């Protein structure tokens, strides 16, 4: 939850669905976790028929470069397992992880932040347009694509310092924060896929968000 001079706000499932295009209504993202390279090696052999080298891993995590290479070279024959990926609520998992990352980053001795920061950044640009660079593709979906390669089109923005943004937040006025960010006068409803709108029934639900051991509360009742 962000406490601004004009009220409380937060990134919610609606933002995840429209900014990143992720499904928000589905099965929870849970399952067995791997605690060793050996377990990871065995699971990859079962799932893909090939295992990563130790240099392709960091602890019990696989580097994205190995997965990208696998995607390019692997012949996908199991359509059922691929289709089942869409049954999970990846949007809820993404938001749970962002909430957890923001919680850790708020500690006085924390100097870094991880998590889906693309979501956080574009949420801020949509809700606080006076702080954002110029969107390059305003009619594209997902909405994050509005600012694809924004560095090439708004070089001035690249040189703004932290002090500039702190001052802007301190002086935030009513009307500068966009509470209804996805109204028809701001986002053309025709660019949003029907399956995204079909899941809108859960966007204001006050429920737990789940991503493996990470469980965070979707407290939309605080500001709905």
Paired sense of beta strands 57-58 and 7-9, if any: unpaired
Q: What is the pLDDT of residue 80?
A: 44
Share of the chain above pLDDT 70, in %: 92
- Helix axis angle for 13-20 and 117-127, nearest 10°, is 100
pTM: 0.81
Q: What is the pLDDT of residue 24?
A: 94
Q: Are 203 and 24 in contact (CB under 8 A)?
A: yes
| End-to-end C-alpha distance for the chain, whole angstroms | 13
How deeply is 126 buried, as exposed, middle or buried, from its count of CB atoms within 10 A (0-12, 13-18, 19+)? buried
Evaluate if residue 54 carries a pLDDT over 50: yes
> What's the whole-number mean pLDDT along residues 169-197?
91
In degrees to the nearest 10, what's the CA dihedral of 29, 32, 38, 40? -20
Token duo for residue 18? 């429209």
Helix H or strand E encompassing 13: helix 13-20
Q: What digits encode the pLDDT tens for the residues 60-78?
A: 678 888 888 887 776 655 5
How deeply is 146 buried, as exposed, middle or buried, from its count of CB atoms within 10 A (0-12, 13-18, 19+)? buried
Helix (H, G, I), strand (E, B) or coil at 139: coil
Distance between CA 91 and CA 24 in Å, rounded? Answer: 5
In degrees to the nearest 10, what's the CA dihedral of 28, 34, 35, 39? 160
Looking from the CA of 157 toward its CB, the CA atoms found within 13 Å total 15
């Amino acid at each position: 939850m962000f406490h601004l001079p004009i009220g409380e706000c937060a990134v919610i499932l609606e933002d995840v669905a429209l900014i990143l295009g992720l499904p928000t209504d589905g099965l929870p993202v849970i399952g067995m976790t791997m605690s060793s390279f050996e377990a990871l090696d065995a699971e990859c052999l079962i799932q893909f028929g090939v295992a990563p080298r130790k240099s392709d891993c960091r602890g019990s995590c696989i580097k994205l470069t190995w997965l990208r290479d696998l995607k390019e070279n692997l012949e996908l024959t199991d359509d059922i397992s691929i289709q089942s990926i869409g049954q999970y609520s990846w949007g809820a998992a993404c938001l749970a992880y962002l909430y957890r990352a923001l919680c850790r980053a708020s500690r006085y001795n924390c100097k870094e932040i991880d998590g889906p920061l693309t979501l956080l950044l574009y949420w801020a640009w949509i809700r606080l347009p006076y702080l954002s660079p110029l969107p390059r593709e305003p009619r594209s979906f997902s909405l994050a694509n509005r600012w694809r390669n924004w560095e090439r089109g708004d070089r001035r923005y690249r040189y703004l310092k932290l002090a500039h943004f702190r001052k802007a937040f301190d002086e935030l006025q009513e009307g500068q924060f966009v509470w209804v960010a996805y109204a028809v006068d701001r986002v053309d409803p025709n660019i949003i896929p029907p399956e995204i709108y079909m899941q809108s029934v859960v966007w204001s639900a006050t429920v737990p968000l789940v991503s493996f051991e990470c469980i965070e509360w979707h407290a939309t009742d605080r500001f709905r």
